[in-house]
Amino acid sequence: MRGDIDQAAMNLVALEDAYGLHIVGGNSLITVDVARTAMLGFCEQIGCGVTEDAAAERD
């Protein structure tokens, strides 16, 4: 993990909230899959390992 873990967690929660608003609001450009891919990409960029189980779809 590169950087401050608390800051990374706060950013992930903010991303989740923002993507959720777009999804619930009906923005067809932001789907659950797009949001999941973007958030997992952010995790990779900051060096935060994500297990396959954590990355699996949860509906």
Q: Please state the pTM of the whole predicted model.
A: 0.75
Structure tokens at 39: 């958030």
pLDDT tens digits, one per residue of 1-18:
777 889 999 999 999 999
- The amino acid that residue 21 corresponds to is L
Is the CB of residue 19 less than 8 Å from the CB of residue 39?
A: yes
pLDDT tens digits, one per residue of 14-31:
999 999 999 999 999 999
Between the CA of residue 20 and those of 2, 27, 45, what are the distances in Å?
Answer: 26, 10, 21
